[in-house]
Amino acid sequence: MQALLFDLDGTLVDSSKGIANSFQHTFDVLKVPEPDAKTIRSFMGPPLISSFEATLPEDLVDQAVTIYRQYYHEKGQYESTLFSHITEALTALKNEGLQLYVTTSKYEPVALQMCQDLEIATYFNGIYGSSLDRVHKADVIQYALSSNSIPRDQALIIGDTKFDLIGGQTVGIKTMAVTWGFGDLDDLLLYSPDYICHTPLEILSTLKK
C-alpha cells in the first residue's frame, strides 16, 4: 500500500458539536423546522448539499449551504477536536514511509484551515475537499489519485461512514471502516469494507497483517 486517504470528520476529527450547531443555526435563520438530533447526526458524512436537499424545499438549498458555511467558517470549525491517538497513529504511518492524504466532503478551504489549526496538516502529502466540480466523495478521491499519480491498487480510503466506503468502491480502491466516528458498525458492514479498525492505533497493525 502506497497511499492512505483519510476522511476528516468522524475519522481524524470529532467535529460533531460544530456541525450540529451549524445545522441548527441554518434552520433557525431560514425559519424552518429543525430536524431531530438523530437526523442531524445522519448529516455528518454525506455532502452538505445532499443533506439540505433531503430536508428543505429546492429553492432554499443554495441559501442553506451559504448560511451553513459562513457559520461553520466563523464558529463551527473551532468546536472540533482530534480523536484520541490520532497524532500517534499518523506519526507511526509516516514512519513506515506511507503517503498520507485527506479526502473529505468538507469544503476544501475549511478542511485545510481545520487541519492547520489542529496541527496535523504537516502529516499529509495533500488535503483535498469538495469544490464546485468535486461534490461527492468519489470525485474528491479521484482528484487526489489523479493529482498525485497514485495507482488504484496501491491506495486505501479510511473513513467512518458508508459514504467513504461507497466513494472508495466507486473509484476502485480498497476501503477501511473505522468505528470511533459517526457511522454505525452494522451499517458499515453492509458495504463490505476490506478492513475494519476500532482504534486509530490499529490502522498500522491491521495493514501489516
Q: 192-203: per-residue pLDDT in tens? A: 999 999 999 999
Please give the DSSP secondary-structure letter assigned to residue 60: G
Of 109, 121, 44, 48, the closest CA to residue 82 belongs to 121
The beta strand positions in the chain, using DSSP E, are 3-6, 13-14, 81-82, 99-107, 126-130, 155-159, 174-178, 195-197
Q: State how far the Cα of 187 lies from the Cα of 181, in Å rounded to an integer.
A: 13
Task: Of 64-68, 72-76, 136-140, give the lowest mean pLDDT range.
Answer: 72-76
60-67 mean pLDDT: 96
Fold matches, 3-14+82-208 and 16-79: no
Average pLDDT, the chain: 95
More confident residue, 168 or 47: 168
- The per-residue DSSP string of 81-121 comes to EEPTTHHHHHHHHHHTT-EEEEEEEEEHHHHHHHHHHTT-G
pLDDT in tens, 124-156: 999 999 998 998 999 999 999 999 999 999 999
- Residue type at 41 in one-letter notation: R
Q: What value, to the nearest 5°, has the Cα angle with vertex 114 and ends 120 and 170?
A: 85
CB 152 within 8 A of CB 172: yes
pLDDT given for residue 200 in this prediction: 98
Per-domain boundaries in the chain: 3-14+82-208, 16-79
- The CATH code of the domain at 16-79 is 1.10.150.240
Q: Is the pLDDT of residue 45 over 80?
A: no
59 — pLDDT class (breaks 50, 70, 90): very high
> Per residue in 179-188, pLDDT tens?
999 989 999 9
- pTM summary value: 0.87
Q: What is the pLDDT of residue 195?
A: 97
pLDDT value at residue 209: 83
Question: Which of the following CATH numbers is that of domain 3-14+82-208: 3.20.10.10, 1.10.600.10, 3.40.50.10880, 3.40.50.1000?
Answer: 3.40.50.1000
pLDDT confidence band for 1 (50 / 70 / 90): confident
Q: Residue 119's pLDDT is what? A: 97
pLDDT at 47: 82
Question: How do residues 110-126 score in pLDDT, each as one tens digit?
Answer: 999 999 999 999 999 99
The tens digit of pLDDT for each residue in 84-94 reads 999 999 999 99
Q: Which residues, in sequence order, are CB contacts of 120 under 8 Å at separation 6+?
A: 12, 82, 86, 87, 90
Tell me what pLDDT residue 180 has.
96
The tens digit of pLDDT for each residue in 15-44 reads 999 999 999 999 999 999 999 998 998 888
Rg over CA atoms, the chain: 16
Spatial CB neighbours of 141, under 8 Å, sequence gap ≥ 6: 5, 103, 157, 167, 168, 170, 171, 173
